Amino acid sequence: MFHKITLLTLVIAVVSCQKKETVEDKIKKADWLIGNWENTSPDGVLTENWQKVNDSTFKAASYFIKAKDTIHFESIVLAQKGEALTYIATVKGQNDGKPVAFPSTSETEKQLVFENPQHDYPQKITYTKGGNNTLTAEISGKLNGKVSSEKFVMTKK
């Protein structure tokens, strides 16, 4: 009887000590986003500044400046709630200023994919970690009935 209790206790201890994916672990796959990212082109400068708010939330400001004019501005929240990791974008001058949620469909150590098939454009947002402190942000989907895609390669500053 003593051996059975000892064995049962050992099994319970091993099972309870197994590492399960937690909120912090899942969002940690996106830690590489943290920092200031920039893409400079003849059209202007695209900047994304990512910050860690807490163990389950990151936030970012993304803006495109041409000359001295801000052409595009959006605030982004990457939030882990339960098992769901969601990219929430609020774009100035679009969607009546209301946020649009893109649930994650894939998250790895090098790529994050978020999709919202009901959104007008984009329906898919992908962040891919590159070498030499780069990341590629890609938006894609159907725009006016045609498949469209835009890629922005940014360098960490």
Which CATH architecture is the domain 21-156 placed in?
A: Beta Barrel (2.40)
> Is the pLDDT confidence value at 59 over 90?
yes
Contact 77, 69 (CB under 8 A): no
pLDDT at 1: 53
pLDDT at 22 over 50: no
Give the C-alpha separation, 137 to 150, whole Å. Answer: 8
Tokens of 84: 């769901």
89-120 pLDDT tens trace: 999 999 999 999 999 999 999 999 999 999 99
Mean pLDDT of the chain: 88
- Which stretches within 18-127 are classed as H helix? 23-28
pTM metric for this prediction: 0.84
List the beta bridge partners of residue 77: 59, 88
